[in-house]
Structure 1
Amino acid sequence: MASDIDMPDADAAKEQTLMYGTDAELDSKYPNRPHNLHKTLPFHSLFTELFNPLLDSTKKNRPPTARRKAGPHGHSNLSPHEARRHIIEKYIAKWRKDAGDDFYPAMRLMIPEKDRDRAMYGLKEKAIAKILIKATKINKDSEDAKSMLNWKLPGQLYKSSVSTAGDFAGRCFEVLSKRPMRSEVGEMSIAEVNATLDQLSQVGTEDQQLKIFQRFYRRMNPEEMTWLIRMILRQMKIGATEKTILDIWHPDAETLFNVSSNLRRVCWELYDPKVRLDGGDTGITLMQCFQPQLAAFQKQVGSFERMVSRLKPTADDDSFWIEEKLDGERMQLHMMEDPEMPGGKRFGFWSRKAKDYAYLYGDSFDPNGESALTRFIKDAFAPNVNNIILDGEMITWDMDVDHIVGFGTLKTAAISEKESKSGIKTGQRPLYRVFDCLYLNDTLLTPYTLRDRRNALQSAVKNVHRRLEIHPFIEAHSYKEIEPELRKVVANASEGLVLKNPRSMYRLNERNDDWVKVKPEYMNEFGESLDCIVVGGYFGSGHRGGAHSSFLCGLLINKHAKPGDADYEKSYSFFKVGGGFSREDYANIRGRTEGKWKDWDAKRPPPIIELGGHADNRQHERPDQWIRPSESVVLECKAASVEASDKFRMNITLRFPRFKQLRIDKRWDDALTITEFMELKDNVEQEHAEKEKEFKIEQSRRKKARTTKKPLIVAGNDTVATPYAGPESQLFSGLAFYIMTEQTSPDKKTKAELEALVKANGGKIVQRESDDKKLVIVAEKRLVKVKSLEKREEYNIVKPVWIGDCIRQAEADVGAIPFVLPFEPNRHMFYLLADDQLPFEENVDENGDSYARDIADVDELRQILSNMPKKSENGFDSHQFVEQLDDHGESLDHLKNHMFGKVLAYFEDEGENPEWSLQVQLAKNYIRFGGGTVLDSKEKEKPTHIIVPEGEEPTLDSQPGPLPRTVGIGWIEKCWAEGTRVDEERFQWG
């Protein structure tokens, strides 16, 4: 703290009040916090002395906002990393000399994405563009206004620089440069900018936001305004990470940030680099958000054995834990004693991004309070628990179907539960699943093993049904136990698995091999390649700005339709793909489609392309431009899996699609149709089922053999299983049928025809009801006799379609033991007794799709797809959704430092060839930087790729499992040049 001699001057004292007010709480909370002795540095110093020099040191093209020369920096003898550190150190030293030790005002502008004290602005690119149009008083229909609103579109459309396409701040710089209020840098200090941004984060209307932007516009030049926009969007890209900046500020800065997520605390408690943290200051504390431990990504396809070995089994303890990976939001719960709170306890909730959620989930046990969780969980903690910190996942649970719902619905469900006073037990609600305990009764548990922490959790927390529950795990001892569990979560459409080392301690803000994610998309059987037609294009941002960076692919309805037919060229949107393209691929697509693209008009969409939301007049995943299928190209793509989605017209889509190659050998009408894709999908699912069947047979090889079909129930609750001998069989042997009416749908059959079908398949026909438990009563019209049976409430009545379904399924399963199908409530039952409702609903999934029967036709498929739930549009928070998606770490292959994330590369030796040695060293660095692994030996662990000199054959050892890819070193060089992982087949040898 400043001494009495070194008192702040008048300007510094004024800024102190401007930024922090006269809140005495700050002085009590941070009694030794530093005070600046002089006024903070000018705002423009951030980019003239810090950001621009950092961008210069990266040796990359600088954004349009950094065009001025920053002057000589004298770093020619330093490596780029050393040069960046020198620039940051120089700026911090200048701050200490000219302002003082309170660096927090500058730090929160340097890394705004880590500033938790300032609320979100609620402003994205288009909202800022509309405000700037008003602030600069330009016509909203002018080219400049359109260029900002359509910042992803190529610049030449608006007589603008192509280089700014996809760079919103850069596009704003172009527009503002034409009409600046001042040409030279302004006089606003960093303290003034912070205080004004605080105001911006607190106002809610566009008029209030406009007044603040007008204030900035009057006092800043275009370059200052553009950097301000980057700070508001929290998209800095200054060439240095927050880790580097924190480390330069203080050796313990990153450690303290990990346990507190508090940038203010880092700056105020660690302002003196010579004063180090005590051991007690480096652990988590109650009511202080921390950065949680993270799960590492699976390194290699199917490498379960290798993954288990990384969990560090010992001779005495080879166990590891398998947990289901939950599709929700990572959440930490803090509880401490507070006599002033209802129930005597105070709660805190924070997400992985350190967002405070106590306002939503509750801060006390108050049963009458507005909380989505805490008012329901008073019985969750043992009586002796005074304080506790839990780590877990907040998920959405649908009480009507008793199943988890996707994480995009979480906030809507939580708000609804918070506002509900009825106590109704149906509907969607937040459920907190706990998997770790990090603090209990004033004791820090992070140094203890996971097994010990779990024991503490079990003793301190009790399940409160569908409110707060301890997440279950399976203790396993062999890597062979992983795949069956993974198949279970695939069947349940879950996120995947997490493998954990029970002997490990908790490590803040680390991804290491103690926790490893295993996701269904890594399983080999979902790698089906698909040839689909391009029907739309999306303009990119960043280095892909100004051109199409991703494409909308569709499925043709009828490839045999002729010009003039209603279905000619018509397609349904299916998926969007933007990964795996090289510059050459983009150029080839552009060259073959040049001049054929048309801008998408939302008011007059093309009738031949149907998007998701078609039935509700919505246009989900609307492309920027569209193209006729007959003028388009066919892309071969591969994907992880197929999943339900209302964002595409097919109501299903590909998960993590990736471009493989351009099919120049195929005409547009050779692309996949809807029918062809559904057949492919059925084949993949059938292969999946066969593998699951083989695994079950292997597991039960010492037990009595039985079919994969479980005993199935007919009307009389008896099981029927008879050999099938073709269309005329004994399928219905032992069953009696009382057929009361004809069949009207899906096709018409008379009562006599139905009776003939039953007899031909071994069934017995009777002409009245009886107490026979093997009697099946069939009807589809509510005749007088049928109504009379319904009133008696003694019999289930089956629709005639069940007879046809049984015969059709038996014909499809030739060679298998035949069985009569279990009844499906909607498709098969004309009248259903109340007691049989729940048992029969277990024969289909939540969308009405049968577990035992193939889909009969396209109409039934459409019906099933229409039953799939639509994601709610009401109350959807796009900012939170993006944050949650980022929390999941999904699909990072498009990032340059992760594009080799699953690659294990082994380089063949070629003696003393110096040129090859140089290439190898460079390629190895590319692999490592891209997140891959370079192997020294292919005997110890199996490589995924073997890199050989041009024209050489690899030396392959006989090893079980799939052979590694053998590619030339040009593949690595191409991937690096393109900034994405291109398909290996174009570079494969042998």
Structure 2
Amino acid sequence: MDEEEASNHEKSHSYSQPSQQDSNLDEKYPNRPHNHSQTLPFHELFETLFNPLSELSKKPTGSAVPRRKLGPHGQSAANLTPHEKRRDVIERFISRWRKEVGDDIYPAFRLILPDKDRDRAMYGIKEKAIGKLLVKIMKIDKNSEDGFNLLNWKLPGQLATSRFMAGDFTRRCYDVISKRPMRTEVGNMSIEEVNDKLDQLSNASKEDEQLPILSEFYRRMNPEEMLWLIRIILRQLKVGATERTLFNVWHPDAANLYSISSSLRRVCWELHDPNIRLGAENSGISLMQCFQPQLAQFQMQSFDRMIARMRGTEEDPVFWIEEKLDGERMQLHMQSDSSVPGGRRFRFWSRKAKDYTYLYGKSLEDPNGALARHLKNAFADGVNSLILDGEMIAWNPEQGAPEPFGTLKTAALAEQRNPFSNGTRPLFRVFDLLLLNGYDLTRYTLRDRRNALQKSVKSVYRRFEVHPYEEATDKTQIEAALRRVVAEASEGLVLKNPRSPYRLNERHDDWMKVKPEYMTEFGESLDLIVIGGYYGSGHLGGGLASFLCGLRVDNASSSQGNMSTKCYSFCKVGGGFTAADYANIRHHTDGKWMDWNPKNPPTAYIELAGGNAQHERPDQWIKPEDSVVLCVKAASVSISDQFRVGLTLRFPRFKRLRMDKDWKSALSMQEFLDLKSNVEQEQKEKEFSVENFRKKRVKRPKKELTVAGYSPSAEVKYEGPSGHIFDGFNFFILTDSVAPIKKSKAELEQLVKLNGGKIYQTNKAAPNTVCIADRRTVKAASLQKNGDVSIIRPSWILDCVRQNEIDAGLPDLLLPLEPRHMFFTTPSKEEEVLTSVDQFNDSYARDVTREELVSLLDKMSADKGSSDVPPRGEATKKLREVIQERVDAGWDLPCGWLFQNLTLFFPDQITQVPDSGNSEHPSCGYRLCLARNTARFAGATVVNDCEDPSITHVVVDPDTPSTEIATLRKTLSARADKKLPHIVTTEWIKESWEQQSLLDEDRYHPRSA
């Protein structure tokens, strides 16, 4: 018996003998399933699951198969959608697992979804550490080509292959390992064995502990197995299928359970039988189980509308104002436990379910805890367990102010080493209590939860504090609070409805963000998913210089709750990037880009404007699930027919890369339309002033309730043309016809019957029922809310019958649906409807009436626009837009255009050219003079009056005393203008000039007291 056979024999033996750990798990999970056989070999994972899914994701996706080719309602097995093909691959794997292994799929899911496995500790090794280990294991000279490629994986190598793989660490590993493999055929390590070794690796903290574990993997796996293993260790296993798809195939309640628990174990063990649904008692939060928190809604530009969303009453008009903190959202779980030092057990999780217990402490006496050790007196007597929601911020005790978010982890690590220093430290600001002594409080009002919070915890000064709030009833209190936080350089405000419950994993109007508006910017920062890229020229030549961003299409019609991966094109972003930003984006998307094929566009993922014209077509495209999210700012939103959304951002600028977000949490179409609706409403409110008085209600006699279209005296006198146009079709007519011809519900039903259709009084009575309505009745609204079926206007029936008369003697053919025919359109139907008309809504299949033709010609004339020469201001505006478009496409920015349309104010006036000082440390006056001249040369307007309302930026020296910065902020916050200028250091001008792109101001704000 050789070594590997002995290992398998030992493994088989241990499989039949439950360990102590298994017994403990059985006690904790009494309904846990047990497999009847050994787990599948590790190579089966990528051979039957990862590789097939990856191949499906690489195949270009063209337009959907026309409906007529598949039949009216049928679907050919050969023409499954990409999503259905992925489900089929996953279903086959799960079915095989159940048959050959058993109902416990947890061992496989730990490797399939490594980034969702919260039960295994972080490995503590990244690409560089793995590269060093592989160099030692394979005994490679670190200065050789292969050694260099592993240790410097972001840089291009000397050979063409290694240059191509720059930034793709796992591919470089595969390339190096395949030259010196220990095995050429797949190994015999089982999934269970791989999990055991990975558990050991996660517990190994030193290189000499990690080396033998990785050596065994190298000895027992071939290069392809090692490639997938390294991806699992890095938790970067992108195979073209989301966890929601995997969960939905496993069990219909799996995604919901994971969202409230973040536990793969619970998903796999409590939902192993797809026929047993999740009970209501298991659908709430649990102690020591991470959940997805409630989020604040996007802000509106009118305080009045925001107050209205707080849903106050005459008896209780109060809403709460809290300061918005610049930290990391954190949930703290505490449980009394005599078995741990200090008697209390802690767990900390971030909003993205990352476990930070290792950083902040697992007990009161945890020597590595940056926070827990200070909480001995933080809980009231009788409090045995609780869950707190709050924000972890970095607090500087010397300045008595919070530090930027980026310093939080550094502060926590410093606190671990020296817990009683006077340096920056973590401070947990608590604003909600969700569970107390085992009782779920999420259904209670915020006011009740706050009252319970005040009685349950005690503040620990500048370590653990209850976040304060103030009660308010009108907008003047919001304005005063906003000016105060601006003066203190804070993030903004959050308005909260004290009468609201806690809404898990939901962004709701009960909480609303209020951020200060700055000059040259449009309201909220938008988190947009990158869906395409454009090659640059000049100094940006050879790489993607600007990016096409999209809005995620909401998929309300999905019966299984799967999120649509389709995105509509929205804007191009090419400004604000540094060389480091470009490198970071390349690193996270390398190997995922595909060339755009105009003849076979990826319409399953991306939809451009212009139909076949493909407006703003990118050079390359990327799937949303493989892409990154950009935080983008812009001057305004404008109408555009160049992007599928129909709107776009004017002068968008990159702020930062949002690595804490993925395509599922990027801005969706519906979220953006909500923002747009708010802006439009605010514009109307500014244009009109409405007196505040109560109109007397006119009492009207109450109408008797009747079924629409039915009356005891109703007589159907109409008999129109008859035929077979609707043969085989089932109809549910909800209302009468309003336009273009008025017809009663009964008349419409008679017309359908005369032309071969069948009538039903519900959409469930027969399959594929066509729903007809022209008014929003209760039933129509209900169907629209469900989002399962499209609702068609009666005009389609009338047009079909009319066209059939015109085409007398020709075969009976139904007209394709046009936008004018749709009362409500499901997302899956939108594209089909739009393809039946041209840009002027002229039908391709229907003969238009005389009245329609006149209307179409009038519209065409209006769209030609005026030939008048625009005024000088308009011409400058047009020129700016043209230049910005060129820059977004990767062209070099003209030297004198970088700061065009910006107005700068320098508080420290320079009357003469100052001494430069030494070359390494130029003087303050020299830096200010250089920045001022650079800005003017690049098109900025510099003013000397700080009260000038056109000021967009106030520029100070980096060494300006913090007291002066604080005074400056207070002065600016007291201005009457609603929008505030940015305060930046001269470094913003210097580095923007060097990068030839306006960089995000947030990176260059001066430090204040």
TM-score, reference length from structure 1: 0.52
- Taking the aligned partners of 2:133 and 2:344, their CA distance within structure 1 comes to 45
- Taking the aligned partners of 2:537 and 2:79, their CA distance within structure 1 comes to 53
Contact 2:547 2:574 in 1 (8 A): no
Residues 308-346 of structure 1, C-alpha deviation per residue, up to 9 Å, x if partnerless? 555556676555433222222222222333455666544
Find the counterpart in structure 1 of residue 287 from structure 2: 286
How has the CA–CA distance of structure 1 residues 213 and 443 changed in structure 2, closer, same or farther, with 3 Å as cutoff?
A: closer
Give the stretch that moved more between structures: 432-441 or 284-293: 284-293
Identify the match of residue 844 of structure 1 among 946, 964, 975.
964
- Taking the aligned partners of 1:543 and 1:210, their CA distance within structure 2 comes to 41
How has the CA–CA distance of structure 1 residues 179 and 243 changed in structure 2, closer, same or farther, with 3 Å as cutoff?
A: same
Contact 1:533 1:668 in 2 (8 A): no
How has the CA–CA distance of structure 1 residues 160 and 277 changed in structure 2, closer, same or farther, with 3 Å as cutoff?
A: same
Find the counterpart in structure 2 of residue 114 from structure 1: 116
- Taking the aligned partners of 2:972 and 2:292, their CA distance within structure 1 comes to 48
**SS class of match (2:495):** strand
How has the CA–CA distance of structure 1 residues 507 and 247 changed in structure 2, closer, same or farther, with 3 Å as cutoff?
A: farther
**SS class of match (1:76):** helix
CA drift of 1:435 comes to: 0.7
Contact 2:310 2:319 in 1 (8 A): yes
Find the counterpart in structure 2 of residue 392 from structure 1: 390
- Taking the aligned partners of 2:453 and 2:885, their CA distance within structure 1 comes to 51
- Taking the aligned partners of 1:129 and 1:553, their CA distance within structure 2 comes to 29
1:166-245 superposed matches below 5 A: 166-245=167-246
CA drift of 1:115 comes to: 0.7
Identify the match of residue 449 of structure 1 among 445, 451, 459.
445
CA drift of 1:37 comes to: 1.4
How has the CA–CA distance of structure 1 residues 865 and 487 changed in structure 2, closer, same or farther, with 3 Å as cutoff?
A: same
Contact 1:537 1:552 in 2 (8 A): no
1:591-990 superposed matches below 5 A: 639=653, 660-662=884-886, 670=896, 680-682=903-905, 844-845=964-965
One-letter amino acid of the structure 2 residue matched with residue 217 of structure 1: Y
CA drift of 1:392 comes to: 0.8
- Taking the aligned partners of 1:119 and 1:637, their CA distance within structure 2 comes to 44
Find the counterpart in structure 1 of residue 272 from structure 2: 271
- Taking the aligned partners of 1:318 and 1:386, their CA distance within structure 2 comes to 35
Residues 110-142 of structure 1, C-alpha deviation per residue, up to 9 Å, x if partnerless? 110011122222222233233334444444344
Contact 1:388 1:438 in 2 (8 A): yes
CA drift of 1:543 comes to: 11
Contact 1:9 1:37 in 2 (8 A): no
How has the CA–CA distance of structure 1 residues 223 and 550 changed in structure 2, closer, same or farther, with 3 Å as cutoff?
A: farther
- Gaps in structure 2 of 5+ consecutive residues: 1-7, 62-75, 525-535, 549-572, 595-649, 657-880, 917-942, 950-958, 974-981, 988-1001, 1004-1009
Find the counterpart in structure 1 of residue 320 from structure 2: 321
One-letter amino acid of the structure 2 residue matched with residue 428 of structure 1: T
- Taking the aligned partners of 1:842 and 1:30, their CA distance within structure 2 comes to 57
CA drift of 1:45 comes to: 1.5
- Taking the aligned partners of 1:128 and 1:467, their CA distance within structure 2 comes to 37
Contact 2:33 2:272 in 1 (8 A): yes
**SS class of match (1:117):** coil
1:420-569 superposed matches below 5 A: 420=418, 423=420, 426-477=422-473, 482=478, 485-520=481-516, 524-525=520-521
CA drift of 1:107 comes to: 0.3
How has the CA–CA distance of structure 1 residues 578 and 122 changed in structure 2, closer, same or farther, with 3 Å as cutoff?
A: closer
Contact 2:488 2:969 in 1 (8 A): no
Contact 1:536 1:553 in 2 (8 A): no
**SS class of match (1:466):** coil
- Taking the aligned partners of 1:210 and 1:539, their CA distance within structure 2 comes to 37
Count of residues in Structure 1 that have an aligned counterpart in Structure 2: 602
Find the counterpart in structure 2 of residue 14 from structure 1: 14
Find the counterpart in structure 1 of residue 399 from structure 2: 401
Contact 1:216 1:225 in 2 (8 A): yes
CA drift of 1:382 comes to: 3.2
- Taking the aligned partners of 1:553 and 1:340, their CA distance within structure 2 comes to 52
**SS class of match (1:323):** strand
Find the counterpart in structure 2 of residue 89 from structure 1: 91
- Taking the aligned partners of 2:585 and 2:137, their CA distance within structure 1 comes to 38
One-letter amino acid of the structure 2 residue matched with residue 507 of structure 1: R
CA drift of 1:196 comes to: 1.7
How has the CA–CA distance of structure 1 residues 501 and 31 changed in structure 2, closer, same or farther, with 3 Å as cutoff?
A: same
How has the CA–CA distance of structure 1 residues 110 and 311 changed in structure 2, closer, same or farther, with 3 Å as cutoff?
A: farther
Find the counterpart in structure 2 of residue 332 from structure 1: 331
- Taking the aligned partners of 1:193 and 1:467, their CA distance within structure 2 comes to 41
CA drift of 1:403 comes to: 0.5
How has the CA–CA distance of structure 1 residues 398 and 354 changed in structure 2, closer, same or farther, with 3 Å as cutoff?
A: same
Find the counterpart in structure 2 of residue 880 from structure 1: none
Identify the match of residue 103 of structure 1 among 85, 97, 105.
105
Contact 1:537 1:550 in 2 (8 A): no
Contact 1:497 1:518 in 2 (8 A): yes
Residues 657-704 of structure 1, C-alpha deviation per residue, up to 9 Å, x if partnerless? x9944459988654659xx99x84438x99xxxxxxxxxxxxxxxxxx
Greater RCO, CA 8 A, separation 6+: 2
How has the CA–CA distance of structure 1 residues 186 and 345 changed in structure 2, closer, same or farther, with 3 Å as cutoff?
A: closer
**SS class of match (1:171):** helix
CA drift of 1:355 comes to: 4.3
Contact 2:545 2:574 in 1 (8 A): no
How has the CA–CA distance of structure 1 residues 307 and 178 changed in structure 2, closer, same or farther, with 3 Å as cutoff?
A: farther
- Gaps in structure 1 of 5+ consecutive residues: 1-7, 63-73, 555-572, 588-635, 643-657, 687-726, 728-744, 748-809, 817-825, 828-840, 855-860, 867-889, 892-990
Give the stretch that moved more between structures: 515-524 or 349-358: 515-524
CA drift of 1:542 comes to: 15
One-letter amino acid of the structure 2 residue matched with residue 116 of structure 1: R
How has the CA–CA distance of structure 1 residues 501 and 553 changed in structure 2, closer, same or farther, with 3 Å as cutoff?
A: closer
How has the CA–CA distance of structure 1 residues 375 and 271 changed in structure 2, closer, same or farther, with 3 Å as cutoff?
A: same
- Taking the aligned partners of 2:211 and 2:394, their CA distance within structure 1 comes to 37
Contact 1:334 1:388 in 2 (8 A): yes
One-letter amino acid of the structure 2 residue matched with residue 844 of structure 1: E
TM-score, reference length from structure 2: 0.51
How has the CA–CA distance of structure 1 residues 238 and 842 changed in structure 2, closer, same or farther, with 3 Å as cutoff?
A: closer
How has the CA–CA distance of structure 1 residues 672 and 258 changed in structure 2, closer, same or farther, with 3 Å as cutoff?
A: closer
How has the CA–CA distance of structure 1 residues 131 and 174 changed in structure 2, closer, same or farther, with 3 Å as cutoff?
A: same
One-letter amino acid of the structure 1 residue matched with residue 279 of structure 2: D
1:151-162 superposed matches below 5 A: 151-153=153-155, 157-160=158-161
CA drift of 1:395 comes to: 1.3
Residues 189-225 of structure 1, C-alpha deviation per residue, up to 9 Å, x if partnerless? 1111111222222223334434333322332222222
**SS class of match (1:380):** coil
**SS class of match (2:498):** coil
- Taking the aligned partners of 2:893 and 2:294, their CA distance within structure 1 comes to 51
What is the RMSD computed on CA atoms of the aligned residues? 5.2
- Taking the aligned partners of 1:552 and 1:534, their CA distance within structure 2 comes to 17
Find the counterpart in structure 2 of residue 928 from structure 1: none
CA drift of 1:79 comes to: 2.4
**SS class of match (1:458):** helix
How has the CA–CA distance of structure 1 residues 441 and 294 changed in structure 2, closer, same or farther, with 3 Å as cutoff?
A: same
Percent identity between matched residues is 52
- Taking the aligned partners of 2:325 and 2:361, their CA distance within structure 1 comes to 22
Residues 621-674 of structure 1, C-alpha deviation per residue, up to 9 Å, x if partnerless? xxxxxxxxxxxxxxx9764889xxxxxxxxxxxxxxx9944459988654659x
Contact 1:388 1:437 in 2 (8 A): yes
1:115-154 superposed matches below 5 A: 115-153=117-155
